[in-house]
Amino acid sequence: MKKIKIYIGIIALTILGFASCRDELNQMPHIETTSVSVYEQAANYKPVLAKLYASFVISGQEKGGGNADIASDNGENCDYLRIYFNLQEVPTEEIAYTWLEGNNMTNIAYMKWEVTDIWVSDMYYRIYYTIALCNEFLRNATDGRIAGFTENEQKDIRNFRLEARFLRALAYFHALDLYGNIPFVDENDPVGAFIPPRYTRAQIFEFVENELNEIAPLLPSPSETEYARATKGAAWTLLAKLYLNAEVYVQKKYYTECIAACKNVFAEGYSLEPEYAKLFNADNHLRTNEIIFPFAVDAQHTSSWGSTTYLVCGAIVTSDSQNAADYGVDEAWGMFRVRPELPLKFGDATTTPDKRALFHTQGQTLNLDVMTDQAQGYCVEKWTNLTDNGQKASNTAADGVNTDFPMFRLADVYLMFAEAIVRGGTGSSLSEARAYINLLRERAYGDTSGNLLFDSDLTLDFILDERARELYWECTRRTDLIRFGRFTGDGCIWQWKGGVKEGTGTDSKYNIYPIPYAELSANPNLTNENY
């Protein structure tokens, strides 16, 4: 199955208010304007829709982030996925970051950021840029606007509307999770200078929930659409994530609803990919059995040195024991390894039979006396730019990798399903949950030797550790630790948490990232608690 081809040069989308991260008067997420002529032809709607998808993996209109969509103090290649990965992974035990000062990552790595942090700011504006694109598309895809097209063209565009709403819901989910109480804008708000209202987490939760419940039954099944586009399964998975974290977001339990959403995903017919490592190589677009919704990365059409190029090249250190070519890339960037707590979840990562323990240990120490020393901390070999037959998939020095990012996959749904049951949700049983978890364990071990034997083995502590073993470096860890009450504070300590080698407790305010200072100056409706 071919990847969806993301063409980005057909229209120029200009977002009012994103011209400069230093212009405090233009920081609020204003509604965007585009040339009306773009929407005069039905054939232009799909390329515009492609831009909505592409906004998650590229940062500009040209190769490698050139002709940037919005200004960034972190450079051209700071696309949505790269920034999201940093905010979700770098403060946790799953990343030991090398270039702390050079990449302005010290405060993120040590959980000490403030309202002026440029990574926090870049993520905020990336999210609202994508939301603005979706709103602009929806404003121009109403029944009234498309009435002059043929019946088939109108049908297609109505389906495109569902996809745009899903992508907007995904972006709002990220904003809800990262920033808490946030500004809200949709396609019904006026174009041009506009001060958005502040929505509480409960209001954003309700909006995302209603959107997903409405569009999920109307979206296509995977077999009915192109790879990497929104499906029923994607919408139900996002809804399950929303419900699983509801106690954090709205202080209410939605575990029974989470179980129901997971069952809707199961009904779509997904199955586990037999080989775990193949989910993260350059042919992972073939894993439509397990990957429910990916961010498509293509070295020809979405060339980037951010997104998954960042994950593959960044994980390879410059050493005699590690060769970049073995991972299908031309350069070892050496940006990150892992802190010891992650490999220790596998026992001895060098001898464990768990095939998910994809670590390069030769020449590397387990512990980190110095965070920035590339020889300290195991390297992660999970992500590669190799095809199934072991060939290099692209010239990464010129075009980046060809590896997609599986934003949602079935293994995560199994884990969410089990956790919701353990937390008291109804509609299934511990035995059924254990059976799904054992499917993951059997893939990991190659036999039943790692299986849970009793329902009582399925504890919350086990689930949190199993999520780390299964989903490390997939942008879930920060959210998981917060849901379990173990991200901030001193209840769970890892090396260099809080900026000291032994780790230390941190302020609970870091469970939420602050809205950028410039945004607060521009929009009087917004506030930051505790910052």
Average the pLDDT over 151-168 and give the result: 98
The pLDDT of residue 216 is above 80: yes
Cβ 1 vs Cβ 227: under 8 Å: yes
Distance (Å) of CA 111 to CA 334, 464, 506, 511: 21, 21, 7, 10
| Residue 183 contacts residue 196 (beta carbons within 8 Å) | yes
And the tokens for 492?
Answer: 């769970």
Q: What is the mean pLDDT of residues 182-202?
A: 93
Of 121-125, 189-193, 345-349, the least confident: 189-193
What is the percent of the chain where pLDDT is above 90? Answer: 85
Give residue-wise pLDDT tens across range 279-336. 999 999 999 999 999 999 999 888 888 999 999 999 999 888 999 999 999 999 999 9
Query: What CA–CA distance (Å, rounded) separates 334 from 327?
Result: 13
Going by their DSSP bridges, the two strands 182-183 and 198-199 should be labelled as antiparallel
Judged against a pLDDT cut of 80, whether residue 429 lies above it is answered with yes
The vertex-87 CA angle with 83 and 90, nearest 5°, equals 110
Residues 6+ apart with CB under 8 A from 461: none
Q: Which of 14-28, 143-157, 172-186, 444-458 has the lowest mean pLDDT?
A: 14-28
Residue 342 is predicted with a pLDDT of 98
408/293 Cα distance (integer angstroms): 5
Residue labelled with tokens 């590669």: 384
**Judging by beta carbons within 10 Å of its beta carbon (0-12, 13-18, 19+), is residue 120 exposed, middle or buried?**
buried
Q: What is the pLDDT of residue 502?
A: 98
pLDDT value at 7 more than 60: no
Residue pair 377/340 in contact (Cβ under 8 Å)? The answer is yes
Average pLDDT rounded to a whole number, residues 430-450: 98
Q: So what's the pLDDT on residue 78? A: 87
**Binning pLDDT at 50, 70 and 90, where does residue 17 land?**
very low
pLDDT at 18: 33
Tokens 């405090």 -> residue: 24
Banded pLDDT at 164 (limits 50, 70, 90): very high
Amino acid at 135: N
Q: Please write the tens of the pLDDT for every residue from 451-503.
A: 999 999 999 999 999 999 999 999 999 999 999 999 999 999 999 999 999 99
Q: What sign for the dihedral angle of Cα 228, 231, 235, 241? A: negative
Q: Is residue 29's pLDDT more than 70?
A: no
Q: What is the pLDDT of residue 6?
A: 35
Confidence of residue 191 (pLDDT cuts 50, 70, 90): confident
Burial of 340: CB neighbours in 10 Å, binned 0-12, 13-18, 19+: buried
pLDDT cut 70: percent of the chain above it: 92
Q: What is the mean pLDDT of residues 384-408?
A: 96
Distance CA 519, CA 21 (A): 10
| 240-278 burial code (b ≥16 CB/10 A, e <16) | bbbbbbbebbbeeebbbbbbbbbebbbebebebbeebbb
User: 525 is written with which tokens?
Assistant: 């409706």
Q: What is the pLDDT of residue 476?
A: 98
- pLDDT, tens digit, for every residue of 229-288? 999 999 999 999 999 999 999 999 999 999 999 999 999 999 999 999 999 999 999 999
Q: Please identify which residue in the block is written with the tokens 């059409």.
A: 301
Class of residue 220 by CB neighbours under 10 A (exposed 0-12, middle 13-18, buried 19+): middle
- CA distances (Å), origin 217, targets 159, 241, 246, 264: 12, 17, 22, 10
More confident residue, 423 or 74: 423
**pLDDT score recorded for residue 10:** 27
How many helices and strands (H and E) does the chain possess? 17, 8
Q: Answer whether 354's CB lies under 8 Å from 444's CB.
A: yes
Predicted structure pTM score: 0.94
Helix pair 232-244, 151-179: axis angle to 10 deg: 20
Please, which pLDDT band fits residue 389 given cuts at 50, 70 and 90? very high
Domains of the chain: 1-215+508-531 (1.25.40.390), 297-403 (no CATH), 431-507 (no CATH)
